[in-house]
Structure 1
Amino acid sequence: MRPKHALIIVIGLGTALALTPVARPQDGRGPFDGLQAHYWPHRKVGIPVGIEKLVGVENKPTHLQLYYSLKRGPFQKGPKLALDRLDEIDSGKKGIIFEAPRDGDYEFTVQHIYASGKVAPATDTLAPELRIVVDTTAPRVQIAVSGNGVEWRATDDNIDPAGITVQCKWPATNEWTNVKNVVADRPFPTSGTYGWRFKPGDVLDVRVKARDRAGHEGVSPVVRVPAESGTPVGLPKEPAWGGDPAPSLPESRIDYVNTLDFNFDYTVQHMGRSGVRASHLFVQKDRNPWEFEKKQPENLMPGGKEPHSITLSYKAPSEGIYGFYIIPESGAGKKADDPKKDDPPMMLVVVDTTKPQVEITSVQVKPGGVKGPIVEITWRATDSNLMPRPVNLEWSSDREATKWNEIKYRLDNDLTATTGRYAWEVPDEKLWRFYVRARAVDKAANAGESVWGQEVIVDLEKPSGTIDRVRGGSGGGAGTPAPKSDTSPGTPAPKSPSPGKPVDSLLP
């Protein structure tokens, strides 16, 4: 998926690859070496590099070589970039943009390449520094009526155990209500049941939503409870499977764009001797029936340079979720059947041109901890497609600065679904006043920001001191010498003027 006439903005992770890598034999790695997994909803990942660590280093590398491994396999070469030509990641940060060939569990490390041709560390001693799980599909959610309730099953390779939501509404209304799990007082399980007590004639519309760790959300079809006549009851049984658990059927891959105009590529996997003369594009808007969009002429023949790719453009009329289905037509006029109502899209595209709403609601300075004063920052961040851990907090001495400094990146709304709080212990003893900014990003790379209106002052101490001694003055205190007389000993004192006599007559 490629946005048309728009720069692809890649949001970097809050963790930077180190520029002083430690060599360890690859075959001696433990289970992920304790690396925290970052779940990422895109195939394209911006990986920051801690280039500031090279400031002042005499023997700098000329290039950085990114290595990656998939599912704990051997390291493979990724992009190689000159140190002064690193990719622009986000807000002036530098790094390396990596495009994953498919979803999966990736590990990354970086190798220094020097002008002499030497590398560090050696290729056979590379060790992982960063772990990213690329997941571009939403959970699959099945639902069925069971008596006066429903049963459901949500499957995904990276399902969030706390991400199951049961919702219901009256058929005549449009507003869904979240159901609380009053039986267990904890999140609903990925597979479970729930029921209601109905008055005669009452019915409910019910659906189940499931979220994975990459932030994708899958939604079940809507069912009516109690079941209407002729409605199948109960979920289909899972097929028997020997050994490992049965793999779940994959959902359509999801991509996000922040423009109404975009292109996407389709690869022809097989063609006959007549080649491909046209491609047929079908579009599905917000899960509605398929609609034929256009027929585009092509001229592909067997042999020649592979892959045989087709590029199609599309202009969405508005924001929303669009499904796409492409059918190639042979030179002999043969093609597959048009997609039917229940055929899943080859790809889902979420068109989102709206920035997240983010606001810093409070900044409080408190007396220090071990390293310095505590700045407690509270925010509100909302968007229909927020990234996992979407909030970045930064500081700057200049409110109008183009590059801000990290307070903490990749924070969650941890107070409520839309609010969060972070306490920052200011470590720099020279830093006593600054501005605070919050930025929130969504999966389409839209970014909203909020700068706290007042300069934050963290120096809460009142100066104090003591008086050591007094210098100068003409007082007669102890130790102060008496002033000398201007009259020599034995000299008569001058006469005072006579009363009533003018003063000027006494002048010489």
Structure 2
Amino acid sequence: MTSPVFFASKIAFLHAPRLHRWAAVVLALLCLGWEARLAPAAVPIPTRPIYTNQPRFRIPFRYDPAELERMSATQILLYVSDDEGIKWRKSQAVAPTDGRFTFNAPGDGEYWFVVRTQSADGSLTPAQESIEPGLKVIVDTSAPQLYLTVRQSQPGWAQLTWKAVDTHLKPSSLTLHYKQGNSTKWKPLSFVPNTEGQMQWQIPTGGNIVVKGTVQDLAANTGKADMQTSIAPATDIVPRTNVPGLPKPVANKGRGSKSNTGLYIPKRFSETEEGSAQFKPVRQDSTPDPFAPSPSQQEGFVANTKPIGSRWHDDETTSPNQAQSDLPAVPFRFVNSREFNIGYKIDDIGPSGVSAVEVFVSQDNGDSWWKFGVDDDRKSPARVKVPKEGRYGLAMRVRSGVGLTSDPPQAGERPDMVIVVDITPPELRLLPLEQGQGVANNQILIQWDMEDQNLAEEPITLYYGGSAAGPWHPIAGAHRNTGRYLWKVGQGVPSKLYIRIQAQDAAGNTQTASTDYPVLVDLSRPRARIVDIEPDGSGQRQ
């Protein structure tokens, strides 16, 4: 197989599988950090490692022949460290005209590289022993391990538990599909990718089902797994059993716990290729406004993906932006951030106390439910981070110290509250102004086009200013989105006016537009008054 090539301007394979990430690097230009000996780099040296599943790769370099001749350079040396820069060893020495190194990694691991030039007198540039790496490569030839467990949670329902294990896992690459009976068509399961999680969906007619999954790591190694089971039709009565392979369920099988046996929380919630930091519950003793802004350093709890209700959909859920008329008749709030607080109050606490506060989410107005996470500290508010824009119905369940809890929300159960996450500003365009003529010179017709899925009741505010940079003064209060406003300019405003319009949606996202050129408004009305009378000298006396 052809070795991957680490180019000066990018990283790629020649006639081989492509590397997972791109980075800009010119190893021969590392000398610039200590002494300007080679041609300047066009791009910064990368600091993040590059992942590859090929142990053999090439590292081309470029150089300025005139500079090397001035230095009397005879060799270009490649140094490598496999212990994060503690010790360096010379890997190769090539002539400047060779233009590249070829490196064979002895095994998986992280390798740091630097380049030094050797002159005819034996001196090295850079000369110091402690040097910063210009390239970090992680060689990973091991495929991720994916574990699937599929079972019947109740007649007509399939429950899937997954866990993906890899040092450099890419959780967002996880895909899950299933097929039923003799069908050859695989149907995708919709879920939020995590390193581990649990979900269930409806198989009303029952039968044999097969579930398969794939997941990749950052080096593009692929792990696969499949599992099958038999599901009884929804009309059958089959005793429930514990989920096999799970060390401990998050809820005991106490009163009203028929749908949450075996649920557990993943170690982290990932929204990027490399995963994100684990979120911890917000610890506050008071119960403030559930959607008041929180300090940036506060973090939310880990999220999970566990559909609980029926009417499961294989396709995407509702559109991220919904008109207000489509919202259910339950309390709702608009927020312009994917992170927000859920404020709650726990009533009827028994002597055993509270062991967990569980949050459930629905994106289809209660037709199906997911267990989103657990607020481990059991103190309001709980900070939540959702993966994208959209409409999120919320419900909460509290588990007592002895494991008693209410049923999870079921299919068709309406949310306790709906949060519409909207981070997209309105689309706004200010149309050319129209000014009255003659006695109507002081009238300016302001027109605009505005579109947004989540309009506020009065989303438009108009301003005027004496210059394009402001300051801006309100023309009137907030207006409905009528598309036009006739402004009768009064006294005390500048004769040259700039107009600005601001649009705001229900979530608080704003967009502004201003005129590029001023409008001349002359409110003066010239008039004459008699100040003197002079006799006409051309007249004759009587």
Q: Work out whether the TM-score is over 0.5.
A: no
Whose Rg is larger? 1
State the structure with bigger RCO (CA 8 A, min sep 6), 1 or 2.
1
Structure-2-length-normalised TM-score: 0.36
Comparing both structures, which one devotes a greater share of its residues to strand?
A: 1
